[in-house]
Amino acid sequence: MSRETISQSISIVHPISLSHGKNAEVWDTAGKRYIDFVGGIGVLNLGHCHAAVVAAIREQATQLTHYAFNAAPHVPYIKLMERLTAFIPVDYPVSGMLTNSGAEAAENALKIVRGATGRTAVIAFDGAFHGRTLATLNLNGKVAPYKQKVGVLPGPVYHLPYPSADNGVTCAEALKAMDRLFSVEIDVNDVACFILEPVQGEGGFLALDIAFAQALRRFCDEKNILLIADEIQSGFGRTGQRFAFSRLGIEPDLILLGKSIAGGVPLGAVVGRKALMDNLPKGGLGGTYSGNPIACAAALATLEVMTDEHLHAWGAQQEDMIVGRYQRWRAQGLSPYLGRLTGVGAMRGIELANADGTPAPQQLTQLLSLARDAGLLLMPSGKSRHIVRLLAPLTIEPAVLEEGLDILEACLRQLTR
């Protein structure tokens, strides 16, 4: 199957062609079966072709396939926003808008905070990933490959170290860096917002330090700065809760949503304090495809399945199995390259590192190939592309999860220099 018509600037992790999937399993065009620990990069928390989502898509496709909401409102959009805002675990009145993707949600959030504050500067974090659009590129805490060859990016944007037990950066170190930033680089009164991932995705599944999150929330309140939580990858049950910010004991002002919001159908959202969401002039927000009826129907079905009881049970099951297996591997000395286990809940990463603690990206590349040949799809992450992301559907059958971990174990044992 030729790929000559596809831009070579798109990087492919696994050089195969998939034909179909069911829950946590996919098959390529040659008929080979794989256990899917990628999940569309965090899009398929309910797995491939979940019955409720498929039924909702089929039903909606017989009624209304599209209408631009800003031309004439339609019922699926209205119903979804009612359900979605009720799903957000905060104490303040919530409103929002639907987008086509997480990156588009981030772009709209930047417009919203500029309108609300009259300021333009944004503070993001090292290792962050917020999208590939021109404005979100500057938010990303990594140059290669995202910022290469594209010239001057929209700003101003500044970056701070991301404090986490998973990367060794302490709360005190991050606060010291923040103090320096406002002493040397920019007047705090020019800052519109901070944007952060409660658990970094592309950065290696690093869980934000709780004390820092709470100190930052207090700082933002004191300085009239808005706080945006990017829950595009960490949301919708990935950590065992609806959203990862809840474990931090804070409430963000705006929340970015995407990936698993609609069971695999393209959709995103930015939601938050109603006063913020309503501050731009009429027509300042919107989009032709944003909130497509079929995507809304898929999202409504997704939210119906994502009860707190289900999310907790699914997250606990994966966490117990992954952590238990990892601890056994460490005790056995399975591989000299087996590094730290990062993340929380069912959002876990496994670091590959050398004996001196330096990243081992070559071994991760080797692991991806070995696992694929053995029937397991994995996804890399981390600054040095040395951390494996474990993103199996939350609905994965225990036996299939066990089988996937067996393959991962065997492949880790085979790693060589």
3-state SS, residue 94: strand
Distance of alpha carbon 289 from alpha carbon 274, whole angstroms: 23
3-state SS, residue 341: strand
Residues of the chain with pLDDT under 50: none
Cβ proximity of 261 and 85 under 8 Å: no
In this structure, how many other beta carbons lie within 10 angstroms of the beta carbon of residue 306?
A: 21
Cβ proximity of 290 and 267 under 8 Å: no
Residue 320 CB-density burial (10 A; 0-12 exposed, 13-18 middle, 19+ buried): exposed
How many angstroms separate the Cα of 139 from the Cα of each of 3, 129, 214, 407?
31, 7, 22, 36
Q: From the CA atom positions of the chain, what is the Rg in Å?
A: 21
Write down the pLDDT at residue 151.
75
In this structure, how many other beta carbons lie within 10 angstroms of the beta carbon of residue 203?
A: 26
Cβ proximity of 342 and 323 under 8 Å: no
Write down the pLDDT at residue 28.
97
3-state SS, residue 306: coil
Distance of alpha carbon 120 from alpha carbon 217, whole angstroms: 19
Distance of alpha carbon 96 from alpha carbon 339, whole angstroms: 40
In this structure, how many other beta carbons lie within 10 angstroms of the beta carbon of residue 344?
A: 22
Distance of alpha carbon 204 from alpha carbon 339, whole angstroms: 12
Write down the pLDDT at residue 215.
98
Tokens 């029937």: give the residue.
375
Say whether 308-414 and 53-305 share the same fold: no
Write down the pLDDT at residue 417.
78
DSSP string covering 118-179: S--EEEEETT----SSHHHHHHSS--TTTTTTS-S-SS-EEEE---BTTTTB-HHHHHHHHH
Write down the pLDDT at residue 72.
97
Angle at 154 between CA 151 and CA 158, to 5 degrees: 100
Cβ proximity of 416 and 339 under 8 Å: no
Write down the pLDDT at residue 327.
98
In degrees and rounded to multiples of 5, residue 311 shows phi and psi of -60, -45
Q: What is the pTM of this model?
A: 0.96
Write down the pLDDT at residue 1.
61
Q: Where are the domains of the chain?
A: 53-305, 308-414
Say which CATH topology domain 308-414 has. Aspartate Aminotransferase, domain 1 (3.90.1150)
Amino acid sitting at position 187? D
Q: Which residues contact 382 (CB under 8 A, 6 or more apart)?
A: 203, 204, 349, 351, 359
Write down the pLDDT at residue 142.
78
Distance of alpha carbon 12 from alpha carbon 163, whole angstroms: 30
Amino acid sitting at position 136? T
Domain 53-305: assigned CATH number: 3.40.640.10
Distance of alpha carbon 331 from alpha carbon 268, whole angstroms: 42
Distance of alpha carbon 47 from alpha carbon 85, whole angstroms: 24
Distance of alpha carbon 116 from alpha carbon 112, whole angstroms: 6
- Residue 384, CA atoms < 13 Å, CB-side half-sphere: 14
